[in-house]
Each structure stands twice: as C-alpha cells, then as structure tokens.
C-alpha cells in the first residue's frame, strides 16, 4: 500500500536516560521511569496526528549508574545482552501504556467493494497522520485518535464516515487485529453500498481460461444439483450479493459483486450467450456480475467452507463474514 508507506509514519519512541546513584550507593539493578514531575513528552506540529513525521515521543528514565558501570566492568556478554532485552521490554511496555492513555486505537479493513488505496488517496487530508499499516496483514490498518475530550466531536464524525467503507473496531495497541476484524464482519457489518452479504462460492479451476468466456459481458449460469449445498443456495437466493471464484485454497481467488437479483432457470431457458459453469445439470442459478471492478478478496478464505470429496466441485453458499481470515 504505497500511499501509507509514503505519507503516514510509524511511531518512533525516543528515550532520555539519566544516570543517578541510589540512596544506598549499591550496585543493585535499577531502571525506572523518572520520579521527576514530567516523565514523558510529546513534541508535535499538528494535534491528533500520532502517525505524523513531526510527532516526537520522549520518555525519561533513571538508571543506577553504579550497576551499569559494574555490568560493563564484568565484560560478561551474556549478562549485558540479558539486560538489554529486559530494558527493551520495559521501554516497550511503558510506551504502550503512554500511548494507550493518550489515544484510542482501532483496527480497520476495507469492505470488499472498496479499494483501500483509492479511498486513502481521496480522503488523504482527513486521515493524514491518523492511520498506519503496522500489521503483517497489510489490508488491515491501525487508526489512532487522541482521546482528549476536545477531539471527541471530530473523532466521532470521522469514525462515522470511515465506517461507511471500512470495518472498524477497537483494537488495543500490541494486540492482533485479525480476529477482531473477522468478528466485525461476522456481526453483519456488510458494505454500506451492498445490502446483501451472501456469497455464491464457485469452484473454478483454470480460472484465467474459463473467465474469458464470461468477463466480457458478466453473464454467468452456475449449475445446481439436488444436494444440501445447492438447497442452501436456493434458500438464500435473495441474500446473494457476491460471487467468489476459487479452487479450494486462498490463492487465485476472485470476488465480484452481483448486479440485481439472481434467478433459477432450467437449462433450456438459459440464453446462448450466458456461460454455464458446468453442462451436466438441469437447473442453474443465473447471475449478472458487476464488472466495474474486481473486489479485494485478500482478507477472505474459501477454505472456511467445508466440503466432501463428492462435493468438491459443487457451488456453495456462505455469508461474507464467515469467510474472513482469522
């Protein structure tokens, strides 16, 4: 996601460490947040922009000078490395606490019908310095909003606008957002522009070859059998809003929105220019694909829907939220 890389900046904590002698003048290991009035500082040019290049965080620590001298005098690399690891964890926990006290953190992921990069470009000014992509799943962003009451009204307005195009849920700093985003979708947070959240899952090997026969006009007929999976599709016909082409793994998935309602037709009724996914069934579900753009399916997993060896190639039904990766 180039726009995030170029225009939004990671948090870079800075630390000021001062040496002191404890009252006992001993060599006890001690490092702690300073006991001075101001323990941390935030220098910035713009308010409510944590992920901004001009936002500087500084924490002030005191360390027992005699312990540091003794540690390095011993010339024990194992002890020195262990102390570095311990200090790093102390710094990490403290900066997380400071950030959690000052900001509300959210995880956000674009609805399938929304191109996240395009949205960020179009809403650059509103989101400047407020989002970043720190997670391994680059389709999920972190949103940070300053928790001071003076920003409450602006933050609520921004959240309301973002939620029209993104799944947005609170996610504490340091926690994985994957389950949180998946649960948000499962609760029925369907895209605002698409009411229907049913997905017709079409098993299609050699997609590049076969899709050339229907992507020119979007006219598709998917074969139905007298099976439990096909009956589930028929029962949920009015909820279908998407088609997901897959081949039983998370690679080479293709997601499209459906234009209008789906109908059931006998083989003899299907138009000659409508592509049939199979030619061995009597009944078909007739679909018109929205070809304005292919939707982002990177956060979906077709493997969430089970199957048997005898139903491997059959079409299936799922709700959108059930397919999100965790």
240-257 pLDDT, tens digit each:
999 999 999 888 999 999
Q: Give the number of C-alpha atoms closer than 13 A to the C-alpha of residue 34, restricted to the C-beta side.
A: 17
Residue-wise pLDDT tens digits, 276-325: 999 999 999 999 999 988 998 888 999 999 999 899 999 999 998 889 88
Residue-wise pLDDT tens digits, 31-41: 766 666 666 66
- In this prediction, residue 34 carries a pLDDT of 66
- In this prediction, residue 50 carries a pLDDT of 82
Mean pLDDT of 113-128: 86
Higher pLDDT, 275 or 14: 275
- In this prediction, residue 193 carries a pLDDT of 45
Query: What is this structure's pTM?
Result: 0.57
Residue-wise pLDDT tens digits, 185-217: 766 544 444 457 899 999 999 999 999 999 999
Query: What's the Cα-to-Cα distance from 283 to each of 202, 230, 294, 314, rounded to whole Å?
Result: 15, 10, 27, 13
Question: What confidence tier does 8 reach under pLDDT thresholds 50, 70, 90?
Answer: low
Residues with Cβ < 8 Å from 82, sequence gap 6 or more? none
């Amino acid at each position: 996601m180039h726009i995030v890389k170029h225009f939004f900046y990671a948090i870079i904590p800075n630390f000021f460490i001062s040496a002191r002698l404890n009252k006992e003048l001993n060599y006890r290991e001690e490092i702690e947040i300073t006991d001075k009035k101001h323990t941390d500082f935030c220098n910035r040019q713009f308010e409510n922009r944590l992920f901004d290049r001009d936002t500087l965080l500084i924490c002030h620590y005191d360390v027992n000078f005699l312990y540091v001298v003794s540690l390095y005098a011993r010339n024990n690399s194992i002890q020195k490395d262990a102390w570095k690891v311990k200090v790093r964890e102390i710094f990490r926990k403290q900066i997380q606490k400071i950030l959690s006290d000052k900001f509300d953190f959210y995880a956000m992921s674009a609805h399938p019908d929304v191109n996240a990069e395009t949205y960020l470009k179009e809403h650059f000014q509103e989101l400047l310095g407020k989002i970043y992509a720190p997670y391994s799943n680059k389709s999920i962003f972190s949103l940070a909003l300053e928790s001071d009451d003076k920003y409450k009204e602006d933050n609520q307005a921004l959240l309301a606008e973002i939620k029209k195009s993104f799944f947005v849920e609170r996610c504490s700093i340091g926690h994985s957002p994957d389950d949180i985003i998946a649960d948000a979708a499962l609760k029925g947070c369907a895209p605002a522009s698409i009411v229907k959240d049913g997905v017709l899952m079409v098993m299609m090997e050699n997609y590049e070859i076969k899709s050339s026969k229907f992507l020119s006009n979007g006219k598709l007929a998917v074969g139905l059998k007298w099976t439990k999976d096909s009956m589930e599709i028929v029962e949920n016909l009015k909820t279908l809003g998407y088609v997901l082409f897959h081949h039983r793994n998370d690679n080479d998935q293709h997601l499209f929105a459906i234009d209008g309602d789906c109908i059931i037709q006998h083989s003899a009724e299907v138009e000659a220019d409508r592509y049939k996914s199979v030619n061995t069934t009597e009944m078909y579900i007739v679909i018109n694909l929205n070809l304005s753009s292919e939707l982002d399916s990177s956060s979906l997993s077709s493997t969430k829907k089970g199957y048997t060896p005898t139903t491997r190639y059959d079409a299936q039904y799922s709700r959108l939220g059930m397919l999100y990766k965790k």
